[in-house]
Structure 1
Amino acid sequence: MLSYRHSFHAGNHADVLKHTVQSLIISALKEKDKPFLYLDTHAGAGRYLLNSEHAERTGEYMEGIARIWQQSNTPAELAPYLQAVRDLNPSGQLKYYPGSPLIARHLLREQDQLQLTELHPSDYPLLRGEFQKDLRAVVARGDGYQQLKAKLPPPSRRGLILIDPPYEIKTDYQAVVQGIAEGYKRFSTGVYALWYPVVLRQQIKRMVTDLKDTGIRRILQIELAVKPDSDQRGMTASGMIVINPPWKLEQQMRSVLPWLHEQLVPQGIGHTLVEWIVPE
């Protein structure tokens, strides 16, 4: 199945959480001079036009990035992420939203590398066009999970692996765990960042249990809910599960999540969460 298009959801509350975590991890990796690999298994189109038919149909960005990108009192933890958004919109009008590959491109240094994979026949050409002049980037059309076998470990032995599947089919919840286990066997010191949607809470509980059963240590869970859990259709929350998180990430997210929740969910419903699934 290849019906999912992120262009309907770009810039929503889930993207705000995902890209905040992504940018903080990249910023931490840059604290050492040694280069690193950014590997994106489900990269999408890279850039999203917010006045497109897709984005306008849902308007999800209006309750996400639009609420925070030009605020003057944003926490310092959001600075790398929000600067990437502003730099893509120099006119001061929110026209484009950067997907995770563009945020990575904005934050990475000359010595760092990008490995981007996308399978969707419409999104792959857009992604390839976005990066065709970037010598740091390799853009491939294929199964992102295969990259966890083919591209790890990187020569630098440093890296961030972002795993962000569409979860179109229920088996994705098992596939991500298998993919992480495969990657970890090859590259146990890498930082793995897994995004997940909360549609049915039981699916997430099962995925977390499966992750515990891998025996992998240092697994941190970060979650932002905009509605209470429900058995009705639709995403109520999203989260990031980070393996080998930078040492500052837990405290950074404990600091910034309450502010994000207040801005994105002014009704005060939902919740935030930062906790260890498996400690050191």
Structure 2
Amino acid sequence: MLSYRHSFHVGNHADVLKHTVQSLIIEGLKEKEKPFLYLDTHAGAGRYQLSGEHAERTGEYLEGIARIWQHDDIPELLKPYIGAVRAFNQGKTLRFYPGSPLIARHLLRPDDKLHLTELHSSDFPLLRNEFQKEPRARVERADGYQQLKARLPPPSRRGLILIDPPYELKSDYQAVVSSIHEGYKRFATGVFALWYPVVMRQQIKKMCNEMQATGIRRILQIELAVRPDSDQRGMTASGMLVVNPPWRLEHQMKTLLPWLHEKLVPTGIGHARVSWLVPE
């Protein structure tokens, strides 16, 4: 338990999708002046060195962020995310990749708040060190799922809750649904963004059915596949379920996802989909 290290997979196609959606949600929330809370339940280490042993061993970032970050035709919608990546790298050398907490820190305004939790014994000290001089942030070694009970609703009554567990345990697929359901009861106007990996399609169908059964409305599903579904080992796709998405997110991702799919999957296999799991 708790053996997963995101440093092996950092910057891959799943990170590109997740952090693109995260960035667009944050930009959408910033359209109103009132501050909001960014709550990251499984925050990881924060910053990742792409020349480090873990990232170099898998090289997954070479088929992810490395394929798009210096493109000449970066779509306008992608610029908040790409700008965050470039802020941690000088020139044309891709040395570091910012995880979701650092992307949020880069995009948030002075009055917005961050609450970050991580349980891994190696990643938590790294995350804490990244934010030790950040007055907007609270960093805790705590169970991320419990934060949806303990920290909601925020005083501002506005917020984005990013839920990105490692799915080491099959129970995570049920835990994310029950946690969102609990959080929604406390904070029905919040934006809940759940990332999921597609390893076994049936597992994702079951999770989606359970989300529908909660009775929560307005759940947008965004998915990017780099290979067809398979019963073989390995992730073929990833997706996001977004409860209460900003009103422009559906159109933004329908515009942006084909470009991302073309650049990340030059062979054209897989798929790019945006649809309502549960409508209004």
TM-score normalised by structure 1 residue count: 1.00
Partners of 1:72 and 1:237 lie apart in 2 by: 26
SS at match of 2:194: strand
Partners of 1:186 and 1:247 lie apart in 2 by: 22
2:236 matched to 1:254?
Answer: no
In structure 2, the residue matched to 1:197 is: 197
Partners of 2:134 and 2:29 lie apart in 1 by: 20
Partners of 1:141 and 1:91 lie apart in 2 by: 35
In structure 2, the residue matched to 1:76 is: 76
In structure 2, the residue matched to 1:164 is: 164
1:242 partner amino acid: V
In structure 1, the residue matched to 2:237 is: 237
How far did 1:197 drift? 0.1
Partners of 1:256 and 1:109 lie apart in 2 by: 25
Q: Describe the superposition over 1:160-190 as per-residue Cα deviations: whole angstroms up to 9, x where unpaired.
A: 0000000001000000000000100000000
Partners of 2:32 and 2:92 lie apart in 1 by: 33
Partners of 1:179 and 1:48 lie apart in 2 by: 28
How far did 1:53 drift? 0.4
How far did 1:90 drift? 2.0
SS at match of 1:116: strand
In structure 1, the residue matched to 2:106 is: 106
SS at match of 1:121: coil
2:32 partner amino acid: K
1:83-98 equivalences under 5 Å are 83-98=83-98
Partners of 2:135 and 2:91 lie apart in 1 by: 27
In structure 2, the residue matched to 1:210 is: 210
1:1-280 equivalences under 5 Å are 1-280=1-280
SS at match of 2:145: helix
Partners of 2:117 and 2:98 lie apart in 1 by: 16
Partners of 2:264 and 2:91 lie apart in 1 by: 24
Partners of 2:104 and 2:256 lie apart in 1 by: 20
State the number of aligned residues: 280
Partners of 1:22 and 1:118 lie apart in 2 by: 18
How far did 1:136 drift? 0.2
SS at match of 2:4: coil
Q: Describe the superposition over 1:27-78 as per-residue Cα deviations: whole angstroms up to 9, x where unpaired.
A: 0000111000000000000000000000000000000000000111011110
Partners of 2:92 and 2:27 lie apart in 1 by: 25
Partners of 1:15 and 1:81 lie apart in 2 by: 11
Tell me which stretches of 4 or more aligned residues in structure 1 moved more than 4 Å: none
Q: Describe the superposition over 1:125-165 as per-residue Cα deviations: whole angstroms up to 9, x where unpaired.
A: 00000000000000000100000000000000000000000
Gaps of 5+ in 1: none
Partners of 2:200 and 2:58 lie apart in 1 by: 21
Partners of 1:208 and 1:272 lie apart in 2 by: 17
1:84 partner amino acid: A
RMSD in angstroms over aligned alpha carbons? 0.4
1:156 partner amino acid: S
Q: Describe the superposition over 1:234-270 as per-residue Cα deviations: whole angstroms up to 9, x where unpaired.
A: 0000000000000000000000000000000001100
Partners of 1:60 and 1:189 lie apart in 2 by: 36
SS at match of 1:15: helix
TM-score normalised by structure 2 residue count: 1.00
SS at match of 1:145: coil
1:110 partner amino acid: P
SS at match of 2:146: helix
How far did 1:92 drift? 2.7
Partners of 1:165 and 1:24 lie apart in 2 by: 20
Q: Equivalent pairs: percent with the same residue?
A: 76
